[in-house]
Structures are given as C-alpha cells and as structure tokens.
Amino acid sequence: MQDIEIFWNVVGKGAAIIGVIVAITQGIRYLYSLMPSSKLEKRVGDIESHQAKDFEHLKQHDNDIENLKAKTDRTEEQLKQMNEGIHRIGKSQIALLHHTIDGNGIDKMREEVDDLTDFFIDR
C-alpha cells in the first residue's frame, strides 16, 4: 500500500511539473505575441501570401498578353495578304483600262491573269 502511495505521489508531482512547464510555455508564447517582432512576422507572412497571389495574377496577364500578341500577328498577316490582293487586282484593273483605251496590251492582260490566278490559288 505504501508503494501505491509513493507511485501516486510521484505521478502527482510529475503532473504538477508538467502543468508548470505548460503554463510557463503558454506565458512565454503570450508575451512573445505582445512583442512588436511577432506582429511584424505576421505582417510579413500576410505580405508574402499577397505577393504570391499577385504573382499568379501577373502570370495570367502575361499569358493574356501573349495570346493577344499572337492574334495581332495573325491579323497583321491577314491584312498584309489582303493589301497584296488589292494591289494585284488594281494592277489588273489598270491593264484592263489600257486595253479598253487603245485595244493593245493583251500580253500584259495575260500576265495579270496568270499572276492573279497564281495568287488566289496559292492562298
């Protein structure tokens, strides 16, 4: 019976020591939370999380810009082809006008027909 009392006495003192350690640890944590450096660490953490979100936003904007640039390049190429087509049609119209005026220039008209045919087939 005396052994059991000694056992419970030791367990009780051990529990009391652990309780004191836990209380001291919580007190230190509380005091640390009141220090300016802990508030600064929290603010830095918040800033870092916002920075990560902003970085993801910027990456998305970069992707959007690249997509728009690709579309612009395609549109520019299409406009270039359209301008070339208009230029060639204009040349054929001038050849037709020359032929209408003087009845000559059949060779020039044949060249323009071949040129227009090649242009519109190759597109």
The answer to whether the beta carbons of residues 112 and 95 sit under 8 Å apart is yes
Q: pLDDT tens-digit profile of 14-28?
A: 888 898 899 999 988
103: phi then psi, degrees, rounded to nearest 5: 75, 0
Residue 76's pLDDT is 95
Residue 123's pLDDT is 65
pTM for the predicted model, two decimal places:
0.45
Per-residue pLDDT, averaged over 80-99, amounts to 84
What tokens were used for 106? 């059949």
Cβ neighbors of 96 (< 8 A, separation 6 or more) are 109
pLDDT band at 33 (very low <50, low <70, confident <90, very high): confident
First to last CA, the chain: 106
Nearest to 115 by CA among 80, 82, 90, 78: 90
